[in-house]
Amino acid sequence: SQAGRQLIAPGQRPEEPHTRFPDRMVAYQRLWLAALVIQGDLGWVWQWLARALNEPEATPISAPLLYATLETAGADAQDRYGRQFVKLVDYIDQHYMPQLEALVARTKGEEADQLRASRSRLRLWLDSFRATGRAPRPAGRDVEVAQEAALNPDL
């Protein structure tokens, strides 16, 4: 939907409330990203990031999708792309976050609430990255041998 208007966004079901639409899209995004990371096919992740960040302006759905991408595939993308990934994170911080601030100012209702929450999660991720210099590995990415045995009693 467009900022400040309660229209149906591309891909949004007609009866679907705006609060559920981003959650569904993020779930699809995380599944796709997890498959790409497992396959080691990070070129698609990089391509998605480049396309999303090269859009003329941020949209309400782009913030939660960007956060999901950084959280799910950021550590692997940093391992693969190194300094280029750091530059990308700098770009997000310096150019994309101000776009989100402007978008929040002209968005209303549930869409604005969702956008503020996504912006806050993204800000926390960026601050953590800045403090440590590393993208955190997503929860569940690394399974310890003891955990593996608990998950499969046949081992």
On whether residue 146 sits in a domain, the answer given is no
- Report residue 36 as tokens: 């790409």
Percent of the chain with pLDDT over 90: 61
On whether residue 5 sits in a domain, the answer given is no
Beta strands in the chain (DSSP E): none
- Report residue 123 as tokens: 């800000």
Q: CB within 8 A of 20, min separation 6: which ones?
A: none
Q: What is the pLDDT of residues 104-138, one digit of tens each?
A: 998 888 888 889 999 999 999 999 999 999 999 98
DSSP 93: I
Give the global pTM.
Answer: 0.83
Q: Report the domain count for the chain.
A: 1
Give me the torsion for CA of 11, 139, 92, 51, rounded to 10°.
Answer: -40
Q: What is the pLDDT of residue 97?
A: 96
On whether residue 155 sits in a domain, the answer given is no
Inform me whether the pLDDT recorded for 35 exceeds 50: yes
- What integer best gives the mean pLDDT of the chain? 87
Q: What is the pLDDT of residues 72-104, one digit of tens each?
A: 999 999 999 999 999 999 999 999 999 999 999
On whether residue 149 sits in a domain, the answer given is no
In this prediction, residues 62-77 reach a mean pLDDT of 96
Q: Which domain holds residue 71?
A: 19-134
